[in-house]
Amino acid sequence: MLTAPRTLTPFRNEPIRDFSDPGDRRLLEEALDRARTTIGRRWPVVIDGERLHGARTIPSIDPAHPDTVVGEVDEATLDHVSRALEVATARFATWRRTSAEERAAFLFRAAAQIRATKDDWNALLIREVGKPWIEADADTAEAIDFLEFYGREALRLADPPPLVRVAGEKNHLTYIPLGVGVVIPPWNFAFAIMAGMTAAAIVTGNTAILKPSQDAAVIAARFVELMHEVGLPPGVLNFVPGAGSIVGEALVTDPRTRFICFTGSKGVGLRINELAAKTPPGQRWIKRVVAEMGGKDAIVVADDADLDAAVAGVVASAYGFSGQKCSACSRAIVDAKLYDAFLAKLVLATRALRVGDPAVYGNAVGPVINRAALDKILDYVEIGKAEGRLVAGGARASGEGFFIEPTIIADVAPGARIEQEEIFGPVLAVIRARDYDDALAIANGTEFGLTGAVFSASEERLRRAEDEFFVGNLYLNRKCTGALVGVQPFGGFNMSGTDSKAGGYDYLLLFSQAKSISRKVAAHAADDLATGMG
């Protein structure tokens, strides 16, 4: 039997490298070379451990080199969907009875394997979704963190604290799994979020069906392969790629599905929530939806802010991974007293960013994910030109890939489309605020509530932000991206999702249900309980 270590070290976040060390650079360069040897590999549907081929495949392309197919995954059919649900339902009967120690051990073994081959995962992230080196290393480190953290959390929940004692009864609470879960991850944190949501589902005793993003299906396929390499029983995790409108909706609406864990756009998240709320014949539960959706995140720069620190925080938050993060800063709200000085420094810092192939060390801004994203973002730039003043970027950058210049639209009015709508690209709207009160009002003036930041030297203003800035993750005098597992549990309010707090101490409860058990005891046993002996 595979079991977790009897004594675990306290959780510690996996270090993120900046590749200033030549040795680190050499290791990743070698991994990128190795990655070229697997270009074009075909990855099958996986159901009950069986590798199945479909009639068609889904190509995953390198967004920096659109003519390069990183790999292909077989497209699942509706028969595959039904078979996966049948298998997951059957396997749940035994997996749910597997001890928390054994389930956690699979996560720890997977984390160790990923840690030992970290740069191969980094290379795949660079190729498949266009992540620059440091962003790729952070993604891989976070995947390791989720596996390590959720393994420990499963062990903690397996031994819940004692309840209040009452004479004549023995009471305890246990957390039991929900059933069959559908995991629908995004492409932007192609490794971390995909692995984290999947790990949370299975370590709590559920069986899972992973439907990856079509833009990041290869790394998901590789992760499923890894989980089986470390011994995960067949059928506990099944891999069913396909279009969300076909495969995804079939999984979400089936009465055998107990819960859906989703990260992605507001529109898709609301659609999933709507479909899950309907109760088809034969369904015996209310489906649970765990959703992390979009954001229109703001950094407020007060009139007493450290100007250089604020500029650095905005640039890092707005253009890291080409702004393709739900936590990215897409609005800089600046006090009128600092506005002109801030904007001048911001433009210089933004123009200094190197745009290009993320496989090349030092390129800070890579491509956007695909042609559709490129066209959508450039359309928003045109909207922004009519709503404000273009002061940096604004065009497609050179290169064969889907590159866009880091863009700044200044003098944007609250309520403008580029100030309200999620763009998901390297486009920043800069808004002038009359004062701090006005800045907070503007920051809160969207339907989202994911992340935000405030730069100010005033303790009173920072405390006001803690109370009044309505976001799930608030950062003070630092960037608004880069939440760490166990340090900054992540999830937002309003149209940003269900505030699920990934990487936090409440997260695994979303994949469990609590069962209270009471037993009447004999009189002598009741006396023992009352005196603390039972």
Quote the CA–CA distance of 465 and 468 in Å, as a whole number. 5
Measured over the CA atoms of residue 307, residue 341, residue 422 and residue 141, the dihedral's sign is: negative
Residue 454, both tokens = 């405030």
Q: Which residues pair with 531 in a beta bridge?
A: none
Asked if pLDDT for residue 336 goes beyond 70, the answer is yes
Q: What pLDDT, on the 0 to 100 scale, is given for residue 43?
A: 98
Q: Band of the pLDDT at 532, cuts 50, 70, 90?
A: very low
Does the pLDDT at position 317 exceed 80?
yes
Rounded Cα distance between 197 and 201, Å, is: 6
Distance CA 48, CA 84 (A): 8
- What's the whole-model pTM score? 0.96
Asked if 410 and 388 touch (Cβ cutoff 8 Å), the reply is: yes
Count of CB atoms within 10 A of residue 464's CB?
Answer: 16
Domain 297-476 grouped into CATH 3.40.309.10: yes
Q: Identify the pLDDT of residue 159.
A: 92
Tell me the residue type at 104: A
Position 7 scores a pLDDT of: 76
3-42 pLDDT, tens digit per residue, is: 655 578 999 999 999 999 999 999 999 999 999 998 999 9
Question: How much is the mean pLDDT over the chain?
Answer: 96
CA–CA gap between residue 301 and residue 208 (Å, rounded): 44
Q: If you search the block for the tokens 């999620």, which residue do you land on?
A: 422
Q: What is the pLDDT of residues 240-294, one digit of tens each?
A: 999 999 999 999 999 999 999 999 999 999 999 999 999 999 999 999 999 999 9
Q: Which of 128, 142, 292, 387 is catalytic?
A: 292
Q: In this predicted structure, what is the pLDDT of residue 170?
A: 95
Q: Would you state the pLDDT for residue 531?
A: 42
β partners of residue 490: 502
In the residue annotation, 86 being an active-site residue is answered as no
- Each domain of the chain, given as residue ranges in start order, spans 41-293+497-515, 297-476
Report the alpha-carbon distance of residue 173 to residue 87 in Å, rounded: 29
Token pair 């989703």 is found at: 262
* Domain 41-293+497-515, CATH: 3.40.605.10
**Distance from the Cα of residue 148 to its chain's centroid:** 16
Active site residue 480: no
User: Does residue 455 surpass a pLDDT of 50?
Assistant: yes
How far, in Å, CA of 128 to CA of 61, rounded?
6
Kindly report, residue by residue over 360-388, the tens digit of the pLDDT. Answer: 999 999 999 999 999 999 999 999 999 99
- The residue whose two tokens read 């070229």 is 36
Please write the tens of the pLDDT for every residue from 159-213.
988 999 999 999 999 999 999 999 999 999 999 999 999 999 999 999 999 999 9
Q: How far is CA 103 from CA 40, 126, 151, 326, 344, in A?
A: 33, 31, 8, 31, 54
Task: Judge whether 41-293+497-515 and 297-476 match in fold.
Answer: no
Residue 40 backbone class (left: φ over 0; alpha: ψ -120 to 50; beta: rest): left
What are 516's strand-pairing partners? 173
The length of the chain, given as a count of residues:
534
Strand duo 512-520 + 169-177: pairing: antiparallel
- DSSP category for residue 396: B
Dihedral sign from CA coordinates of 479, 484, 489, 490: positive
**How high is the pLDDT of residue 6?**
56
Give the CA distances from residue 311 to residues 346, 455, 487, in Å, rounded to whole numbers and listed in that order: 6, 10, 24
Burial of residue 32 (CB within 10 Å: 0-12, 13-18, 19+) is buried
In this model, does residue 527 exceed pLDDT 70? no
CA dist 274 to 61, 78, 476, 484, Å? 32, 21, 36, 31
Catalytic residue (one of 128, 153, 326, 480)? 326
Please, is 355 exposed, middle or buried when counting C-beta atoms within 10 Å of its C-beta (0-12, 13-18, 19+)?
buried
> Can you give 309-333 as a three-state secondary structure string?
HHHHHHHHHHHHHHHCCCCCEEEEE
